[in-house]
């Protein structure tokens, strides 16, 4: 109506209006996602699972008789790419990405929390098809004490919606602490699959280094990726990225290009989670070995974990 025409310029205007509607929900946030599978190192099984469902929201899929995917739960060690994966899914499938801020659902008035929850879910269905990202769901669905059952009612509303929804909303829920997850949350029917994101393998670490070097306009072949992958055993993807950044700062202060040696030194200065939170990580891995989730990594890693083969952790020390 403003321009007197309907063309590609209208897309930005419509997108801005959708963002405004989403902001009014108070608990939803519109994310602009540019991450691609190439920006996420490793996780080969998870990526393949997503690619097989890339056309799952099309009319052709409905005609074929396929159901709309419900969602996935990403459980695992902090810094292994769970949030990055949520953004990658939306961009891979070319769908809007909404992030649910569960803390913003709760209001001080009687019945306000339940109404905010219903409104957020109703707006999500209005924007559908879309991806709904529930970050750190163990905190989002933690039950409060002395709140007259408000937390329980909000949780029940979301669970029922996840089970019964017919709108094409794909839920990506992430969690670091399995102890805080109610069993009924991650059972089949609410999620299509539960993936476990472990510490990256040698090949995955090599790929992660290459991703972060390319992201900073460097040629990965100029660095000894085999050496870096070997020296970073037990490090998460986030820790690998930080080592690259630390190496760049050191070289930048000396007005020179950073090298493999700089990254190596940066790795040795870190204390990785696999050392500082060894017990917590072992609990998470045992949860996977009990068959409660599927490895998001390469198939050979999944097979090893099914046979209760522990992954060796040897942290290089200075």
Asked if residue 249 and residue 186 are part of one domain, the reply reads no
Verify that 21 and 156 share a domain, yes or no: yes
pTM summary value: 0.82
> Is residue 284 assigned to a domain?
no
Look at residue 216 and tell me if it is in a domain: yes
Domain-ending residue, one of 197, 220, 253: 197
What pLDDT sits at residue 318? 43
Domain that holds residue 229: 202-233+237-271
190 and 44 in one domain? yes
Domain boundary among 197, 225, 260: 197
Note whether 207 and 190 are same-domain residues. Answer: no
Distance CA 304, CA 285 (A): 12
The structure tokens 């476990």 sit at 196
Residue 310 lies in a domain: no
Please indicate, yes or no, whether residues 105 and 17 belong to a single structural domain of this protein. yes
Question: Which pLDDT score, from 0 to 100, does residue 303 have?
Answer: 47
Q: What is the pLDDT of residue 294?
A: 87
Domain-located, residue 96:
yes
| Maximal C-alpha separation, the chain | 68
Alpha helices by DSSP H, listed for the chain, are 9-23, 44-52, 59-64, 82-92, 112-127, 137-140, 150-164, 202-215, 225-231, 237-253, 260-269, 273-276, 278-289, 299-306
**Same domain for 256 and 112:** no
pLDDT, residue 305, reads 43
**Nearest CA among 97, 109, 100, 136 for reference residue 25:** 100
Structural domain includes residue 282: no
User: Is there a domain that residue 297 lies in?
Assistant: no
Q: What is the pLDDT of residue 189?
A: 74
Instruction: Provide the CATH number for the domain around residue 157.
Output: 3.40.50.300
Residues 184 and 209 in one domain: no
In a domain, 122, yes or no: yes
Is the domain of 160 the same as that of 251?
no
- pLDDT at position 141, please? 67
Same domain, 172 and 228: no
Beta bridge partners of 243: none
Do 182 and 216 reside in the same domain of the chain?
A: no
Q: Is residue 254 part of a domain?
A: yes
Distance CA 318, CA 160 (A): 52
Domain count, the chain: 2
Q: Tell whether 160 and 242 lie within a shared domain.
A: no
* Domain co-membership, 138 together with 213: no
Q: What is the mean pLDDT of each run of 10 residues along the chain (318 residues)?
A: 78 76 80 83 90 90 91 89 90 89 77 86 89 84 62 85 90 83 75 91 94 95 96 94 96 96 96 88 82 74 43 44
């Amino acid at each position: 109506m403003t321009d007197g025409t309907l063309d590609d310029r209208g897309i930005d205007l419509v997108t801005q209006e959708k963002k405004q509607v989403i902001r009014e929900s108070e608990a939803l946030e519109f994310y602009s996602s540019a991450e691609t599978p190439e920006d996420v190192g490793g996780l080969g099984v998870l990526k393949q699972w997503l690619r097989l469902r890339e056309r799952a929201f099309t009319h052709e899929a409905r005609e074929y008789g396929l159901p709309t995917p419900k969602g996935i739960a990403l459980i695992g060690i902090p810094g292994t790419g769970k949030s990055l994966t949520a953004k990658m899914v939306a961009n891979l499938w070319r769908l809007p990405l909404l992030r649910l801020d569960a803390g913003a659902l709760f209001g001080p008035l009687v019945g306000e929390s339940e109404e905010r929850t219903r409104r957020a879910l109703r707006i999500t269905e209005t924007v559908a098809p879309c991806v709904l990202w529930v970050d750190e769901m163990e905190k989002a669905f933690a039950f409060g004490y002395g709140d007259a059952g408000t937390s329980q009612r909000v949780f029940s509303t979301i669970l029922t919606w996840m089970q019964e929804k017919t709108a094409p909303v794909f839920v990506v829920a992430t969690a670091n602490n399995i102890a805080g997850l109610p069993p009924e949350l991650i059972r089949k029917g609410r999620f299509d699959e539960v993936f476990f994101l472990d510490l990256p393998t040698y090949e995955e670490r090599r790929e992660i280094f290459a991703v972060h070097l390319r992201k900073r306009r460097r040629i990965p072949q100029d660095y000894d990726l085999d050496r870096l992958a070997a020296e970073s055993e037990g490090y998460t993807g986030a820790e690998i990225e930080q080592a690259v950044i630390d190496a760049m700062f050191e070289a930048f202060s000396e007005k020179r290009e950073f090298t493999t040696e700089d990254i190596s030194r940066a790795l040795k200065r870190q204390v990785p989670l696999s050392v500082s939170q060894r017990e917590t990580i072992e609990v998470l891995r045992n949860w996977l070995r009990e068959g409660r989730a599927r490895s998001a990594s390469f198939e050979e890693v999944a097979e090893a974990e099914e046979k209760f083969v522990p992954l060796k952790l040897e942290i290089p020390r200075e």
